[in-house]
Amino acid sequence: MTRFLRAVLLFTLLAATGTHAKTPVATGTGGGAATISEQATQSAIAVLDRGGNAVDAAVAAAATLGVTDPFSCGIGGGGFMVVYLAKEKRVVTLDHRETAPAAVTSALFIEDGREMDFDTAVASGLSVGVPGTVRGWHEALQRYGTMSFEQVLAPAISVAEQGFIVDANFSGLVARNEGKFRRFPATAALYLREGKALPAGTTLRNPDLAHTYRLLASGGVDAFYEGTLAQAIVDAVNRPPTAAGVSVRGGRMTLADLADYEARVRAPVRSTYRGYELYGMPLPSSGGVTVFEALNILEGYDLKALPRAQVEHLYLEASRLAFADRDAYLADPEYVDAPVAGLLSKDYAARRRALIDPARAAPGAVAAGDPFDFQQDASYPLRPAPRALVPESAHTTHLTVSDKDGNVVAYTFTIEDWGGSGIVVPGYGFLLNNELTDFDFTGPHPNVPESGKRPRSSMTPTLALKDGRPAFSIGSPGGSTIITTVLQTIVNYVDLGMDMDQAVDAPRLSQRNGAATDIEPGYADSAQAKALLQRGQRWSDLAEEIGAANALVFNPDGTVTAVSEGHRHGIGSAQVQTPSR
């Protein structure tokens, strides 16, 4: 065992005994990390302490989240990484979103001439896209990291082997998915006891996932996309191993689909807002474009001079308009020529802004705009038909890491629904995604399923620079509410002047071009809510937590503040290498 691995094992044992106090906010020097999991944040800091950079630490944290937050993310899924390279003073993005297998057609979720039931589609092999996470980690480490798979996976291997204590939040998530998990014996064996969720206080070990990570540590990326593990993935997708008497639909994935999978290095989508340079994921993520369009709309108001209720009213209406455009135009750029330049035009934002009544909410869904006049390209003939908001699962994870040299990573990755498809690959300990349900089930529409296509995503890892230097990072899980969470947090921080921890902890409102706005428990009876009701805003009947954000703030004195959730998702975890005294 190397000195590095011994140090990692010691760190894991200390974490398991609670030596480190969990806190959602930390300020200090060196690097910083914020995730939703204490073990994942500690994995990032351990790698930074051993000389790794922000990319190395981000992959270490992500691998650990695959153990401790397996219902949100893991190597059976995909994601988007935004990286600031301090030495080069530039931002790059890594798209390792899942792809549709080659056999997929636009009729993927059509059965007997009708759209398949959504929950039926989720818990099936049909919903599984070709996983991109491992290829994305490989590309990130090869291009921008300094460590090997063996080094960055070591903390996660230790957590998987030594185990971690299941908390009430984890147990509750399992309980919500008992029905899905019971269908698949490998999943039930890992997360259920006698058909019920693991109770809080249980020590959960995942030796199969530790074995899988060891395969990657020794064999690299090819160990996932070729050979025995690849065959096991294909078998699980095409012939899902189910409990007696249970039948689910199989997929059409091949070994060639896995072997041919490629990550994409893409130029970030870019905008500006009140002196900040903003960088986000381009398509097939709809997050960057939608958030930046909404901010362009809001930039026309002097929000600092307005009362909070008025600011939030304008935020909701700007979000409504941006979501109308998102649903109409955005999809995989290798299949659809989306009018991104037009959507991000400040002049187009002014046209959309003119539709907002400062005193009254729109009565319901609004129509998409026409950005083609601002596209500087006359070759775009498509004009969309109005469509209802497509369901999108709200279960993902986001992490953010910086290092002492000023590199920054904002990384959101997912397996889609809580527990993805519900299918654990037997003998390998990880859940497969249900990412293909992010496609529109019927067309015509830019986001229908097609062979090799990446489904549109809402993941929104975002970096902000000011005067050429990192100012803050922000991102969240939450399906399509990711977009509103990132947007509202930026408004809270930049326009309402909240500290980042206050901006993250504030009540969240998510308006995605619907008749009602989604809210969190307890909000409807607040004075804040009543002030917005007077402006015609309406609330959804079901109140649930929205998002689980993580952020970094780079302070003028050279320190970094890491921020995670103060009350949502069981409270998040933030650490820095050298805390301020």
> b/e per residue, 41-69, with b = 16+ CB within 10 A?
bbbbbbbbebebbbbbbbbbbbbbbbbbb
Q: Which amino acid is at 546?
A: I
Beta-strand relationship, 90-96 and 264-266: antiparallel
8 A C-beta contact, residue 86 and residue 93 = no
Alpha-carbon span 15 to 321, nearest angstrom:
46
- Angle at which helices 308-329 and 481-490 pack, to 10 degrees? 140
Instruction: Provide the 8-state DSSP code for 494.
Output: I
Is residue 520 within 8 Å of 508, Cβ to Cβ? yes
Active site residue 442: no
491 burial class (0-12, 13-18, 19+ CB within 10 angstroms)? buried
| Residue listed under structure tokens 């690299």 | 220
Whole-Å CA distances, 400 to 40, 58, 507 = 11, 7, 22
Q: At what angle do helices 149-162 and 54-68 cross, to 10 degrees?
A: 30
- The tokens for 435 are 């990412």
Specify which residues 83 forms β-bridges with. 92, 409
Contacts with 387 (C-beta within 8 Å, 6 or more apart), sequence order: 327, 328, 440, 445
> What would you measure as the largest C-alpha separation in the chain, in angstroms?
66
Contact assessment for residue 40 and residue 99, using Cβ atoms and an 8 Å cutoff: no
359: left (phi over 0), alpha (psi -120 to 50) or beta: alpha
The answer to whether 550 and 58 are in contact (CB under 8 A) is: no
Residue 388 φ then ψ, to 5°: -75, 155
Contact 559, 27 (CB under 8 A): yes
Does the N-terminal peptide bond of residue 381 adopt cis geometry, omega within 30 degrees of 0? no
> Which one is catalytic: 396, 412, 462, 517?
396
Q: CB of 296 within 8 A of CB of 490?
A: no
H or E, element range at 334: none
How many other CB atoms sit within 10 Å of the CB of residue 291? Answer: 30
> How do beta strands 196-197 and 192-193 pair?
antiparallel
Burial code (b: 16+ CB inside 10 Å, e: under 16) for 23-37 equals bbbbbbebbbbbbbb
Handedness of CA 246, 118, 432, 511 (dihedral sign): negative
Would you call 383 exposed, middle or buried from its count of C-beta atoms within 10 A (0-12, 13-18, 19+)? Answer: exposed
Distances (CA, A) of 204 to 163, 181, 441: 5, 16, 37
Catalytic residues: 396
